């Protein structure tokens, strides 16, 4: 009886490991494809694939993260302001689902902070004040949950850079934050090959301009 039980446990563990391996392989290949085809069509294809993965892996937050990320990137690339909100609405929906799964994940709040500026670009005069507090709150939450998350500092630096000097922004104030982000990026090691690992190059690019 003990032999049979041990055998069944071994089979169960083997099947679980194989399933997890296939999930990670599919995620990794889709992330690589997304990053090698950085245009709206490429990100839409990625979003579709990540959404399908999320349906099969309902307890995982990462597929939902990447669906939201893909739609946010599309919204930034979209030149027609009237088309931005529908993409961001989709992104927010998937992000909300991810937060329900992993409410203490810094990366999700950093992604939320990445979403808000795109909302603001639709109508800066009207939406600026509406979303600024939400944006700062999301960044603060991301840093609180993980002070070593470099994307939080990069986003904070970008917001500070584009804020009028009269409100505490500008290049001189933003530069030290970009430098902090650089230090965090240099030390950062993603939890796995499929965890978020973007921002290092663009942070350096912004820093080089200052």
Model confidence over 90-120: pLDDT tens digits?
Answer: 999 999 999 999 999 999 999 999 999 999 9
With b meaning 16 or more CB within 10 Å and e meaning fewer, what string describes 57-87? Answer: beebbbbbbbbbbbbbbbbbebeeeeebbeb
Over the stretch 152-172, which tens digit does the pLDDT of each residue have?
A: 999 999 999 988 888 788 999
SS (H, E, C) the chain: CHHHHHHHHHHHHHHHHHHHHHHHHHHHHHHHHHHHCCCHHHHHHHHHHHHHHHHHCCCCCHHHHHHHHHHHHHHHHCCCHHHHHHHHHHHHHHHHHHHHHCCCCHHHHHHHHHHHHHHHHHCHHHHHHHHHHHHHHHHHHHHHHCCCCHHHHHHHHHHHHCCCHHHCCCHHHHHHHHHHHHHHHHHCCCCCCCCCCCCHHHHHHHHHHC
Segment 126-155 shows an average pLDDT of 95
Closest listed residue to residue 119, CA positions, set 107, 100, 140, 133: 133
Segment 54-72 shows an average pLDDT of 97
Q: What is the pLDDT of residue 174?
A: 96
pTM for this predicted structure: 0.88
pLDDT over 70 percentage in the chain:
90
Task: Kindly give, in sequence order, each residue whose CB lies less than 8 Å from that of residue 46, ignoring residues fewer than 6 positions away.
Answer: 30, 31, 33, 34, 66, 70
Q: What is the pLDDT of residue 123?
A: 92
Q: What is the pLDDT of residue 130?
A: 87
To the nearest 10°, report the CA torsion of 8, 12, 13, 14: 100
Segment 39-66 shows an average pLDDT of 96
């Amino acid at each position: 009886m003990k032999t049979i039980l041990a055998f069944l446990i071994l089979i169960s563990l083997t099947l679980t490991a194989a399933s997890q391996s296939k999930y990670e392989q599919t995620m990794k290949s889709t992330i690589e494809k997304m990053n090698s085809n950085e245009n709206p069509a490429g990100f839409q294809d990625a979003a579709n694939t990540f959404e399908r993965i999320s349906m099969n892996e309902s307890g995982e937050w990462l597929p939902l993260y990447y669906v939201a990320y893909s739609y946010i990137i599309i919204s930034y690339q979209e030149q027609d302001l009237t088309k931005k909100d529908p993409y961001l609405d989709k992104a927010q929906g998937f992000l909300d689902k991810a937060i329900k799964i992993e409410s203490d994940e810094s990366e999700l709040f950093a992604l939320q902070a990445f979403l808000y500026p795109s909302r603001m670009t639709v109508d800066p005069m009207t939406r600026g004040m509406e979303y600024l507090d939400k944006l700062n709150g999301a960044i603060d939450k991301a840093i609180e949950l993980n002070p070593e998350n470099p994307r939080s500092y990069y986003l904070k630096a970008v917001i500070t850079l584009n804020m009028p000097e009269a409100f505490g922004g500008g290049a001189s104030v933003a530069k030290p934050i970009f430098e902090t982000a650089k230090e965090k990026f240099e030390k950062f090691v993603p939890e796995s090959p499929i965890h978020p690992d973007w921002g290092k190059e663009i942070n350096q690019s912004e820093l080089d301009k200052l």
